Amino acid sequence: MKTEFKPEGFAGQKLLRLGKAQQLWCRQDPLSARLFVTDIGYYPQAERHRVERPGGAAGCVLILCTRGRGWVDTGRGPQEVKAGEFFFIPAQHRHSYGTYADSFWSKYWVHFEGGMMAEIATQLEEACDSPQSGPELAPSVALFEEMISILEAGPLQVNLARINCRLWHLLSLFLHREAPASRPDSGAAAIESCLHFLRSHLSQRLSLETMAAHAGLSASRFSALFRQRTGSSPLDFHIQLKMQEACRQLILGKGKIQDIAADLGYENPYYFSRLFRQVIGHSPRQYREKFQA
């Protein structure tokens, strides 16, 4: 007997779509026009699920599998999608996806359009080629649920603006997701430990060797992994943390500039001031006056 598949209509599903009037408002709103939700939903347990779009969707599609397993085909043949993985489909890109005859999946999904679609598609190109490990499930699921809840309250303009702002946050979780801790030799845990170490040692001027030793890595390996994680060298990142703390103390009016410098490990206040200007763009005195005026 042939198994019958369907695109929707599952028990407990949540499926919300913006009408033409709401989409028109999003296109005309200066902020929402850059990225806006057109469809969003959740299928708690979709069995015999299948969607086929030979001409693609009008907007981009992002789908996160939270339980079970399924498959997706974006032109390279069907590829399995497991719990904790996601895939991305650019606008007007032919695709199909669904579950196997003997499986189900739970999934959150969102369709979105806007002037930034092409840039998002470029950043998530890898997730179109094959399913990728997603971000931490708890915060991404919570954000999906919040967006769904807002839209369930009604497609008011204020609600549209709210979910479109949250769309940026949601996409950022997928664009800048953490490397899986289980990946062999990723060094993710060591770098995270070192970041905490740097934040808790703002009063010291640490050497690269000291940082690498704390992470349990060679200096060269540590530097490469650290730059990959933060986009900055370890020494520069520590300086940036120090300058952030200096900004906080200057705004709160805590102490003289030379005392703040000493608290952050700089015995020479003139050197501290030059460094502060290089990083922040103002001298410490100018910065304090700007925020205390």
pLDDT in tens, 192-212: 889 989 999 999 999 999 999
| C-alpha to C-alpha distance for 38 and 26, rounded to whole angstroms | 9
pLDDT at 168 over 50: yes
Q: Which of 86, 90, 72 is nearest to 134 (CA)?
A: 86
Tokens representing residue 253 in the block: 């009016």
pTM: 0.68
- In whole angstroms, what is the distance from residue 71 CA to residue 69 CA? 7
Looking at residue 252, its pLDDT comes to 84
Q: Report the pLDDT value the prediction gives residue 8, as an integer from 0 to 100.
A: 77
What lies within 8 Å, CB to CB, of 74 at 6+ separation is: 87, 89, 93, 94, 95, 128, 129
The string of pLDDT tens digits covering residues 137-163 is 889 999 999 999 999 998 899 999 999
* Whether pLDDT at 98 is above 90: yes
> So what's the pLDDT on residue 186?
57
- pLDDT attached to residue 10: 83
Contacts of 228 (CB under 8 A, 6+ apart): none
Question: Do 53 and 95 touch, CB atoms closer than 8 A?
Answer: yes
CA distance 243 to 263: 12
The C-alpha R_g of the chain, in whole angstroms, comes to 24
Average pLDDT of the segment spanning 84-110: 94
Beta-strand relationship, 36-47 and 104-113: antiparallel
Give me the domains of the chain, ranges plus CATH numbers: 14-175 (2.60.120.280), 188-292 (1.10.10.60)
pLDDT band at residue 119, thresholds of 50, 70 and 90?
very high
Neighbours of 67 (CB within 10 A): 14
Residue 45 has pLDDT above 60, yes or no: yes
Supply the pLDDT for residue 181.
Answer: 45
**Single-letter amino acid, residue 81:** V
Q: Residue 266 in contact with residue 275, Cβ under 8 Å?
A: yes
CA distances from 200 to 159, 211, 245, 250 (A): 40, 12, 11, 19
Confidence band for 184, pLDDT divided at 50, 70 and 90: very low
Average pLDDT, the chain: 90
Q: Is the dihedral of CA 5, 9, 10, 11 positive or negative?
A: negative
Q: State the Cα angle at 276 between 247 and 293, rounded to 5°.
A: 45
Q: Point out the least confidently predicted range of 131-135, 187-191, 268-272.
A: 187-191
Check: CB of residue 246 under 8 Å from CB of residue 257. Answer: no
Is the confidence at residue 179, as pLDDT, over 60?
Answer: no
Does pLDDT of 136 surpass 50?
yes
Phi-psi region of 62 (alpha: psi -120 to 50; beta: other; left: phi over 0): beta
